Chain A
């Protein structure tokens, strides 16, 4: 069905036979004389029956002929639907399957994938194939990848446009399970990275038919950002990519604060042989705490983002002792072990108390110190009370101390407890697992760790609350207690292996790490927690931080290190203030492999196979030529003068762009004051309302300085209500139900100062009577979903009765008293009630027109208009006439 002419092809080549008719058209146009000019001449009758000397008629000029032939040719070619860059036709007539990779690597190639998928869908539409859609990453809602079908091209297009990349890896197993539809050909729009077992999915797809796999070009392959260990001067990250990338690919990595401000930026180039590339960020100490994340510039998705948590922020830990290291004997001194344990994750500063306090540390460690000078003690105590965390280790010095122990979380029993040695019958005790309420929950303790000697705590009533770690027999080993805003933590054994094996274990490092981590917000650590980390922020597929949706579940602290990003646990920050842990893609995925879809799958690149439909271009060109022809003919026939009359029309047509009709109308409405009414769904009522409001507008013009520019009919669902200070709403039973959007609009309108006059039109609001007519019920239905303020009947002194005319309700003042309800006690809004409810059927009253003359009927009719004028004045000016200034005059006029 397709003929190929180089890079063009025609979908309906048969129509091209119409071009053969062009010479015939030329001949016809040639012999048809042009349209005659029209001239008005009073002596026309002298022309009657004139026998011309020769019957020659003038011809159309040849270039007009050519123009028209060209137009005809263009239209014929356009109808033959030429297509640029045609793809081979889709084989067969069966449905086809589109597989879209939407795991975390797809963010950087997402546009390409979607564009290619949409082009394919358009082609499927043209060739009448049904489409099945399959994605590879599980969705948040169901945990399975999204699949849909069979779909028509239009529906498929809409669905594809609504897809988004996800922030977690794909699950090819689940996708394979969903390959159950009967489609034959598969087109897989992939990101080129192997996220698992690509071969399985391709095998499942190949069972059904041919598979075409689209991979991005090497310059578009996705990248991954990895976190490296923190260095002394700042941070380190590394960028890795699949090994098929183009050499010299430039990459921009930024360090961002938690607010999103860029703190530092580094550019590197990637080469296939030197992956991964490490990048050092040297951040000054003062700002180092602000760094929240690292990002690869450009749309790199969740894989290009590394979030930092407390563990990567180096805190300053002060170690009380001599400031130089000369006396520290390796492997013997407690300070040595503390240094070795703390240095990887925190800055350690050694010195005396005064020096340490100058540096504002997060934690101060006292290794086995029993006494200190009084000022140091006071300073330390003040520091703790202001929110510092003090960590104390026990030791022989403390054991021997006779005096009252200072700054300990629990009262201590003097003398140590030795479980080793000749005087005891006990075995060295082992630690129990940390309970879930302890901040150390999840730290594994090797079974060989034993404590041989410790300082005991006095068994008080609240000892359990203050215990963070226990020995097997329940003796507290690590205790903590708050002191004002700070925290005192004590480990009842030494920081050196003298009394226990704990400093030798990896658990020691983790314990210290946790303690340092708590130090940002010490009190929070004491709150009873259930050991679960709640999600605080999560990443979406494009790498942006957002609030976690309801489908994200908390992670238990113990399992945190092991979990992989998934729909229930997307990458992001989990935990609570002061103790957050970040989950990144790169925590578990360390390198990127190119996907090998296997033999039997044809691998293609994107962007080489777009079909482009040329029909619209050709038709547009034909339209331009038609306009040119018309201009030429007008100029020829009536001269340039006539063009000026039509030129404005021509220009408008020529530049006919899809007008934003909405915004043009909005500008009109914003320009003047328009009276408005809500369309009620009943055309005759709408006409009446329109007429009535128009008459009211005329009255306002004639009598007041208000000059309404017109009347607008509104639909609360689609129209902008904000331009109308007063809206008249005639209630009828034909009123269509308000959709949510309409209700939202109305509520917004009322909240922001609009006034609506509801009119049930059936005069059912008599004084005191309230009959449940259909219209009142409809009104109730409408207002049930709106926030209507409390209403009261219109009082005689209400400013509505005197805002322009002095009305005397009940004395023939235009409406019966008690039949209009207004808002009680309006605050703000200039005293204008946002809702007025009445039943007087004002629209018909106003639509009846002014009655001429001075009779009683004319007066009654006039009072209707007076009320209308008052209403509009009130809506526009508010409580202006209620000011005290006017009261004496008003009273005078009322004859009181």
Chain B
């Protein structure tokens, strides 16, 4: 006899969908929380107090009192301080640029790859690095925002907005950033950048023309770099066309493959240098702290030298 079984705890379809969404959102939130924790752990070593430009400028924060020279604006005179002594003092604010940092994470299909369950996926690594950088920026008082969205800010809220944007899965995945960048922006692009160099170059050039500076963080899985497989394997591309390559004996082509991947990474690096951008390669088995430290040091060096965020 046939029997058609309704589920034991059958709920109307709409409620079911809401439940699944909520579950998903909870999972994402938990994931986000774990990423944030990772990010915070990573910045702990780097962040020690506020990071200020020790220079005078036209920023909001007080920095020092300076004697009045002819040519300064009379509105800047701080009468209180002047009254204490018989000299005239100008209140100097800290130098601040109106430059903001914008982040971008690659959402290509290949970003969800990891070769080992102990490693994070490339997407997760990208998100952690982005969040960590965001944290650092916020602590420094910099303005941050997400590339592609107009919101930017200096507060925790801005960081939260960035985090939500990272978690939002409805945004279509792109392997390369779009062609619009705000003015006075410093771009931080995190992704695997496996697209052909011919595709990457025009995008970078375009972005560098619009923005002030850029930092490319190329994240790759160690398996992609080294190809540690053996035997007869058919490899499949995770993108939409699911291109497949059959390799009879992986060991025989390993060296050539590594050569090719190294050449591609070098090409990306060259493109960045041509745009006067920075580039760092982060294999996912490397501790994020190390990469962050490298990035931050590079930033600080440039800040000290140029007075602005790296150009």
A37-45, A405-413, A492-500 - interface stretch? A37-45
Q: Is A595 an interface residue (CB 8 A)?
A: no
Whole-angstrom CA separation of A44 from B241 in the bound complex: 12
A46 with B110: CB separation less than 8 A: no
Q: Please, which residue of chain B has its CB at the minimum distance from the CB of A662? A: B1
Point out the residues of chain A lying under 8 angstroms from B10, CB to CB. Answer: 698, 701
8 Å CB contact of B245 from A35, A44, A690: A44
Known contacts being A42-B237, A47-B235, is A33 close to B4, with CB within 8 Å? no
B8 with A709: CB separation less than 8 A: yes
A39 with B3: CB separation less than 8 A: no
8 Å CB contact of A43 from B1, B194, B256: B194
By secondary structure, the A interface counts as loop
A388: min CB distance to chain B, Å: 67
Q: Please, which residue of chain A has its CB at the minimum distance from the CB of B234? A: A36
Q: Is A57 an interface residue (CB 8 A)?
A: yes
A678: min CB distance to chain B, Å: 10
A697 with B6: CB separation less than 8 A: yes
Whole-angstrom CA separation of A736 from B193 in the bound complex: 70
A710 with B249: CB separation less than 8 A: no
A713 with B2: CB separation less than 8 A: yes
Q: Is A719 an interface residue (CB 8 A)?
A: yes
Q: Please, which residue of chain B has its CB at the minimum distance from the CB of A709? A: B8
Known contacts being A46-B261, A710-B5, A712-B1, is A38 close to B248, with CB within 8 Å? no
Most buried by A among B109, B229, B237, B239: B237
8 Å CB contact of B3 from A41, A54, A712: A712
Whole-angstrom CA separation of A52 from B247 in the bound complex: 9
Q: Is A711 an interface residue (CB 8 A)?
A: yes
Point out the residues of chain B lying under 8 angstroms from A52, CB to CB. Answer: 247-249, 252-253, 256
Whole-angstrom CA separation of A665 from B3 in the bound complex: 10
The interface bits of chain B over 1-37 (1 if a CB of A lies within 8 angstroms of the residue's CB, else 0) are 1111110101000000000000000000000000000
Q: Is B232 an interface residue (CB 8 A)?
A: yes
Point out the residues of chain B lying under 8 angstroms from A35, CB to CB. Answer: 232
Q: Is B170 an interface residue (CB 8 A)?
A: no
Known contacts being A50-B257, A56-B248, is A42 close to B110, with CB within 8 Å? yes
Point out the residues of chain A lying under 8 angstroms from B194, CB to CB. Answer: 42-43, 45
For A, the interface residue count at a CB cutoff of 8 angstroms equals 44
Q: Is A715 an interface residue (CB 8 A)?
A: yes
Whole-angstrom CA separation of A773 from B253 in the bound complex: 82
In residues 222-262 of chain B, which contact A (Cβ within 8 Å)?
A: 223-224, 229, 231-239, 243-249, 252-253, 255-257, 260-261
In residues 170-205 of chain B, which contact A (Cβ within 8 Å)?
A: 192, 194
Q: Is A34 an interface residue (CB 8 A)?
A: yes
Point out the residues of chain A lying under 8 angstroms from B257, CB to CB. Answer: 46-47, 50
**How many residue pairs, one in A and one in B, have C-beta atoms under 8 Å apart?**
134
A268: min CB distance to chain B, Å: 57
A54 with B252: CB separation less than 8 A: yes
Whole-angstrom CA separation of A52 from B238 in the bound complex: 23
Point out the residues of chain A lying under 8 angstroms from B1, CB to CB. Answer: 665, 679, 712-715, 718-719
Q: Is B113 an interface residue (CB 8 A)?
A: yes
B232 with A34: CB separation less than 8 A: yes
B65: min CB distance to chain A, Å: 57
A44 with B248: CB separation less than 8 A: no
Whole-angstrom CA separation of A362 from B236 in the bound complex: 103
A850: min CB distance to chain B, Å: 10
B114: min CB distance to chain A, Å: 10
B253 with A42: CB separation less than 8 A: no
Whole-angstrom CA separation of A715 from B2 in the bound complex: 10
Point out the residues of chain B lying under 8 angstroms from A55, CB to CB. Answer: 248-249, 252
In residues 1-60 of chain A, which contact B (Cβ within 8 Å)?
A: 33-48, 50-58
Whole-angstrom CA separation of A53 from B248 in the bound complex: 11
Whole-angstrom CA separation of A883 from B264 in the bound complex: 86
Known contacts being A42-B194, A690-B4, is A47 close to B236, with CB within 8 Å? no
Whole-angstrom CA separation of A51 from B227 in the bound complex: 16
B244 with A58: CB separation less than 8 A: no
In residues 686-743 of chain A, which contact B (Cβ within 8 Å)?
A: 690, 694, 697-698, 701, 707-715, 718-719
A123: min CB distance to chain B, Å: 39
Known contacts being A46-B264, A53-B252, A710-B6, is A58 close to B232, with CB within 8 Å? yes
Q: Please, which residue of chain B has its CB at the minimum distance from the CB of A691? A: B4
Whole-angstrom CA separation of A56 from B248 in the bound complex: 7
B162: min CB distance to chain A, Å: 25
In residues 127-164 of chain B, which contact A (Cβ within 8 Å)?
A: none
Whole-angstrom CA separation of A55 from B234 in the bound complex: 15
A57 with B256: CB separation less than 8 A: no
Known contacts being A41-B113, A42-B113, is A710 close to B232, with CB within 8 Å? no
A44 with B244: CB separation less than 8 A: yes
* 17 pairs, CB–CB < 8 Å, chain A vs chain B: A33-B232, A36-B247, A37-B234, A42-B109, A42-B111, A42-B224, A42-B237, A43-B194, A46-B261, A53-B256, A56-B248, A58-B249, A665-B3, A690-B4, A709-B6, A711-B3, A712-B1
Binding site for B on A (CB under 8 A): 33-48, 50-58, 665, 674, 679, 690, 694, 697-698, 701, 707-715, 718-719
Binding site for A on B (CB under 8 A): 1-6, 8, 10, 108-111, 113, 192, 194, 221, 223-224, 229, 231-239, 243-249, 252-253, 255-257, 260-261, 264
